Amino acid sequence: MEPTNPIHEWLNTPIPKKLWHYTSIEGFYGITTTKQIYATDLRFLNDREEFTHARKLTEELIQESPETGPNGYGLREIVRQTIKYLFDPGIGPLRPDYLQFFVVSFSAAEDQLSQWRGYSRGSSGASLGFDLSRLRQHEFGLDLDRIRRSTGGDFPAFFAPCVYDQSKKKELIRFALHHGIEGLSSIYNELPQVKSLLETKSPTSDYLSVFNEIREKVKDPMRMKRLVDAVLRTFIDLFQIVALLKNPSFEEEREWRLLISGKQDEAPPYARQFRVGSTTLVPYVAYPFSTEPNAQVPLSDLILGPGSDEHAVSAAQSFLHTQGIEIEPRPSAVPFRPR
């Protein structure tokens, strides 16, 4: 029987019948007419801990792990060095200047004042209710052989809720780490020359140099492949959750994320574009809801913000009719009067 995979289960959380995207009136118009939605570069979102939050939690878990493995080798330090390599700002494959995520944010909260204020130009925008139940049909998964060949061209998209609960985050990270731990333990136990090498290394030794020395000492290609695969599986698991782990301060938003990924030095699945932000240019990609030319935007509900014009609902309904979308917009129930 296959062991439970909490990362796979989280990434396949059942999609709610309706999820909401808060935006300006201009954004509402653009999404509806172009049948596309902008996915923003993760580094330019409003959470300063994006991407780094996962590394901090990972380092905490490593510190809580046993210092030595079953046979006395320095387990904690080996795992720390592995994670240091994966996140290293200069060479690591999980560093944000190498691996780029583009994010579309949705929410399970349909009419929330904090999100009106934060994402709809002071509450005068729109909350778009989408039926996204078919979104995962357009995704593709990670293939270990393809990653091992380092072709780098087929990074996937994911659609899942963000993780706010600290215990759940740690459960997911522990599962990601166990592949690497088991692989390293296996090599250590089976090969005396690797054992002696690791025991003589300083805790501050560079991970890549140690890994290359292991590669030279392990003459059996199948054993080396097992070790490489173990590290790759840890990378793949962390890759799948790194952009979903959020600071609990944002839990009220109940965010779901569509994550489109790619390497910085390669073209993402959709053309990288730029828009003018308040302090910088912001990279984004335009994600099409469908590749079918006559497909409609999967819009099933629409709420106009509490700061909207008194005629906003009727104007929106007339506009939607011209787009062939027959839904009845409604005003926000939040009793907020913008000043």
Quote the CA–CA distance of 188 and 201 in Å, as a whole number: 14
- Give the domain range for residue 138: 6-331
Specify the pairing of strand 255-263 against strand 99-107. Answer: antiparallel
Name the one residue in this structure whose structure tokens are 């583009």: 102
Structural domain contains residue 126 = yes
Question: Is 338 contained in some domain?
Answer: no
Count structural domains, the chain. Answer: 1
Q: What is the mean pLDDT of the chain?
A: 81
- Domain-located, residue 337: no
* pLDDT tens per residue across span 24-76: 999 999 999 999 999 998 888 877 777 778 888 888 888 887 777 666 666 67
Nearest residue to 285 (alpha-carbon basis) of 266, 306, 305: 266
User: Higher model confidence: residue 102 or residue 225?
Assistant: 102
Give pTM, 2 decimals: 0.83
* Integer angstrom CA distances of residue 198 from 59, 175, 229, 244, 320: 21, 24, 19, 34, 66
Q: Is residue 63 part of a domain?
A: yes
Place of tokens 């944002």: 250
Residue identified by tokens 């790619």 is 262
Distance CA 68, CA 66 (A): 5
| DSSP letter assigned to residue 107 | E
Q: Is residue 20 part of a domain?
A: yes
Write b or e for each residue in 75-98: b if 16 or more Cβ atoms lie within 10 A of its Cβ, otherwise e: bbbbbbbbbbbbbbeeebbbbbee
Q: Is residue 92 part of a domain?
A: yes
pLDDT 10s digits, 82-141: 777 677 665 556 666 666 788 999 999 999 999 999 999 888 999 999 999 887 754 434
**339 lies in some domain:** no
Rounded to a whole number of angstroms, the CA Rg of the chain reads 23
Q: Is residue 13 part of a domain?
A: yes
Check the CA dihedral 128-131-133-136 and report its sign. negative
DSSP string, 283-333: EEEEEES-SSTTPPP-EEEEEE-TTS-TTHHHHHHHHHHHTT-----EE--
Q: For residues 23 and 116, give the distance between their C-alpha atoms in angstroms, rounded to a whole number.
A: 8
